[in-house]
């Protein structure tokens, strides 16, 4: 299949985000080859167990987020992106966003398990949250965290619905629709479990922030 793939070498120049390896549907051999060839930054997401095992000598593999990173970019000196989760079940998705951001040199500060069923947990971290110029809020079930958060801060909130849930909320559609329907202005939503996509929005914001400065 190799001849059929058109690697988009100029993507980062054009869009501020380099091409990234999406694990599903790729053979282990294919993924290994992509991390063996050439040099410099390489990032893979949504890796299978077998893909992670095969990459462990070629890259830094993170089992929670199912990612692999080769030659990450140097960390920049800038205020961190804040990443929040409603529960512990949302941590893999949040960690995918964290790995994408950090591998490309953007510092991150995590605030996990601060969901609305115990709203005091969010209040207790709010001063630190407010320091972050961009926020990523991951939640499953009823997906209420971004709505409460957006009413408390002046940073943009990128909402990531997660597939964590049961019954009607299993799979994440309820959380996603609730985030889109939020009564709190200033929320933008990405696809279910799309930590990668949320990180990309954050990177584009930060990239232009630097470019405009």
Footprint (CB under 8 A) of a copy of itself, residues 62-81: 64, 78-79
Give, as ranges, the residues between 163 and 182 that touch a copy of itself (CB under 8 A).
163-169, 172-182
Q: Dihedral sign, CA of 64, 83, 201, 106?
A: negative
Q: How far is residue 37 from each of residues 31, 40, 58, 196, measured CA to CA in Å?
A: 10, 10, 11, 23
Q: Using CB under 8 A, which of the segments 33-41, 50-58, 66-74, 193-201 binds a copy of itself?
A: 193-201
Q: By the 8 A CB rule, do 118 and 132 touch?
A: no
Shortest distance, CB of residue 119 to a copy of itself, whole angstroms? Answer: 6
Q: Using CB under 8 A, which of the segments 12-20, 32-40, 50-58, 68-76 binds a copy of itself?
A: 12-20
Q: By the 8 A CB rule, do 206 and 134 touch?
A: yes
User: Which residue in 47, 66, 143, 195 binds a copy of itself (CB under 8 A)?
Assistant: 143
* Sequence-separated (6 or more) residues with CB below 8 Å from residue 149: 84, 122, 129, 135, 137, 157, 184
Determine if 142 is a binding residue for a copy of itself (CB under 8 A): yes
Q: Using CB under 8 A, which of the segments 35-43, 48-56, 65-73, 106-114 binds a copy of itself?
A: 106-114
Q: Using CB under 8 A, which of the segments 32-40, 52-60, 68-76, 198-206 binds a copy of itself?
A: 198-206
Buried b (16+ CB within 10 A) or exposed e, 23-52: beebebeebbebbeeeeebbbbbbbeeebb
Determine if 49 is a binding residue for a copy of itself (CB under 8 A): no
Determine if 23 is a binding residue for a copy of itself (CB under 8 A): no
């Amino acid at each position: 299949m190799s001849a059929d793939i058109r690697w988009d070498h100029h993507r980062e120049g054009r869009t501020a985000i380099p091409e990234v390896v999406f694990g599903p549907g790729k053979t282990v051999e294919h993924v290994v080859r992509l991390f063996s060839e050439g040099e410099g930054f390489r990032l893979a997401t949504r890796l299978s167990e077998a893909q992670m095992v095969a990459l462990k000598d070629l890259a830094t593999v993170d089992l929670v987020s199912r990612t692999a990173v080769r030659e990450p970019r140097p960390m920049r000196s800038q205020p961190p992106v804040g990443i929040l989760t409603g529960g512990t079940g949302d941590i893999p998705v949040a960690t995918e966003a964290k790995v994408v951001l950090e591998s490309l040199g953007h510092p991150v500060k995590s605030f996990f398990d601060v969901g609305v069923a115990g709203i005091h947990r969010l209040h207790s971290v709010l001063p630190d949250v407010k320091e972050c110029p961009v926020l990523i809020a991951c939640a499953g079930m009823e997906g209420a965290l971004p709505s409460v958060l957006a009413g408390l801060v002046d940073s943009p909130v990128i909402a990531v619905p997660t597939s964590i849930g049961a019954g009607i909320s299993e799979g994440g559609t309820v959380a996603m629709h609730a985030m889109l329907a939020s009564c709190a202005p200033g929320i933008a939503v990405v696809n279910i479990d799309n930590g990668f996509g949320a990180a990309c929005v954050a990177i584009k914001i930060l990239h232009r922030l630097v470019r405009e400065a």
